[in-house]
Structure 1
Amino acid sequence: MGRLFGTDGVRGVANTELTAELAYRLGRAGAYVLTRGKQNAKIVVGKDTRISGDMLEAALVAGILSVGGNAIRVGVVSTPGVAYLTRTLGADAGVMISASHNPVADNGIKFFGGDGFKLLDQAEEEIESLLQGEDRMPRPVAGDIGRVEDRSDAVSLYIDYLRTTIPNRFDGLKVVLDCGNGAAFHIAPEVFRALGAEVIAINSQPNGVNINVKCGSTYPDVVREAVLQHSAAIGLSFDGDADRLIAVDEKGQLVDGDYVMAILGRSLKAAGELAKDTIVTTVMSNVGFVKAARELGIELVRTAVGDRYVMEAMREGGYVLGGEQSGHIIMLRHNTTGDGILTAIQLTNVLVAEGKPLSELRSIMRSYPQVLVNVRVGSKEGWDQNENIKHAIRKVEEELGDEGRVLVRPSGTEPLIRVMAEGPDQDQVQEYVDSIANVVRKELGALQ
């Protein structure tokens, strides 16, 4: 068996790769590992709006009950909602059934510990090891079998909590929310309406198969058009499980994760609430964000791509703000994972508190043109020791100087070398990337 757990739980095409049988076994193994030795252990189970969610939930819950765990079903909720409810309800673990921004055919299962944080590699490896070979986990009988508790009120607890994380109301502010026909469809509009905003909700009628279909955070043009059509102050777009946010300002300009971190970082620093005046981000953050942070007197800690690496660095360093350009923003004072709806109200709160349009707040940084080329190669082995490749990279770095950067890295899952560069001029950056990519092709044996 290959490794099941990826960077964000177990994912696959529902009912072929991620089957009900696998979900049942994951429920058994996950409950056993995460609640071992505890009496009347409780596990929160949530899901997004995918049609396969019901099937996988039924199987997963059956697995939990079969080892004596108790399942608290909270229905359709965001991934950060599961993290919050796991802590609030005093559960021993939490599970979210979602494939985030992936198409509807996919689904996933991700576990949280009782502290609301995603599992460390060691726990995932232990769960996975139990799926190999004969099943020797407990099979209690009679009154020791687990029970199901349905908590229809649980999502309201999360909504009420979100409202308490900001001091201001949004009375009279016109806001467009693109819910991606996913988990945000009922949560985001209710939160913003409760705060007084005039809400225009789009893609908020999930039918089981329309999640992420040409909408949500991976299609920002959708919310942009709605903002311009309705003359709204801000547009906020979520992915399928609402742990990611992409925004647009009143002019329709993109406000991605880098802009959001810059705006929130400046606000927190001014309030004396940005721990160590530091933001944690990944190597993919735009050079414009790096320059803006420097001008603001904010230090950056850079990690590998992936919100789990951002979280690890935040916890190790005691930092409170981190995230990715893609819109995963982690605000550790409020939640234990990236939270798109939390980020949305925090960003809107800065808008209201400063009395400035988002376009003015956005001017805190300039996003430099970025070009990425994926080179399919015969072998990635030794790419970083190849003198010709290193020379090509150094040459471009010297020409860009402080006005840009180069990032060349291998794909973790495919025979690809990713060549990325940023700089002031789009055409020039394209030439730089092409020059490095051509050397990579020549040296490593490009595949079609």
Structure 2
Amino acid sequence: MKLYELKAIAKRLNDFTFISRARRIEDNTLELVFDKSDSYFFNMTRGHSFIYKAPSQRPLQGYNAPFDTLLHSLMAASKLIAVEVPNGDRILRFTLAPKSSYKDKIIYLQLEFTGKNTNAILIDENEVIIEALRHIDADSSFRVIRPGLELLPIPPFERDEEEKEIVDIDAFLEEQYRQTQAKKLLELKKQKLSLTAKKSQKLDQLLKKLPNEESLELQAKEYNSYGNLILANLYQIKPYDTQLKTYDFEGNEISLKLPKNIKVNRMSDYFFNLAKRAKNKAKNIHMEKENLQSKKDFYDNIYYALEQAKEPYELELLVPKRAKSQRKKEKLREGELFWIEDYKVFVGRNSNENQKLLSLAKANDLWMHIRDVPSSHVIIRTDKQNLPDSVIQAAAKLCVDFSVKNPGDYEVDYTKRKFVKVQEGSNVLYNKYNTISVTKEGVEIRV
């Protein structure tokens, strides 16, 4: 951050009278809402800090660290007394009177845009640290940042920066948002697309490795023939023999490799078992193929949805960062786990997984499905709470994005799991349901 930018921002923020909301929306980004209408965002990433103005945003996840709790309790609905840039340094300091205090009290929020030591610090009126976004120990800096310690001043530093006038600071910060958002969206989308493409490619490789039904049936016939040949020539096989040279039932000379570490009188059973396995695999190979293909289609649909996503929030919703670790805790082998505003959302990738999710769902969990279209089943774990409309809307969009490729308007029915009656497989009957409309936009043609 440039010093002249901070001065212009401080001047603008002094136009407001109170802070209605203060929260963390990303790991390093704070949102402050002034006078219930204007949201400003402070990205406190080390070495890449900046400020932007944008519409209020939903947090990517719930933040419940001590800093977040105090940020909310001390700053929400607090009176804004002053915003300053003290000592001509890259610091933005808010002087506030908390609403939650039973007597007159002053606190400070100090945002330090100082390279590797960039930080957000809550301070009391005696300059004692209440809490900080980052704690800093003595081995990292002479300024130890820990609750209960006095905040030492930043050493003076002479700056040689060209002063510039910013005519409209809000327009400047909104443009900052557009530029950073476009760059962030591009980088995040590239990362998520790569992860999803790898999953789809892995399934495609498994599909290509699957043997076809005809070759398995021929293999079963061959193993069966070997077993019969062993039985017909059992009298001449010695325990130490490694192969059997004989004639097949058509009179052709054949050399048959004998299995190791198997007794002679069990060798025919060995080949008969191989024949049985090959025959069963031939019988069920189409099911395995359908299972793999449905999973591949699922990830292909995610890929298309990622391509048309317009916000980082949508990307994180489709391919969440913490789903993999949380999936292990859930001990969930079937389906995909997603998070929407801290609610667990399970999505079936095929008929088998839909059945499994139905069996795992609790009575008051929310179930959803696209009406009149074969689709993924979606289960939202409610823990008997009333779900916000935003969660239901987002989950319905996931259901459509993961189930269909064609753009259009779709009706998604949803109801409590206890009102869903399983018929055959993953086919169900349900009543007492609600419906939500979801529009799937067209996907741009990829060159």
TM-score, normalized by the shorter chain, greater than 0.5: no
User: Could you say which TM-score interval applies, normalised by the shorter chain?
Assistant: under 0.3
- Point out the structure with max Rg over C-alpha: 2
| Bigger RCO of structures 1 and 2 (CA < 8 A, at least 6 apart) | 1
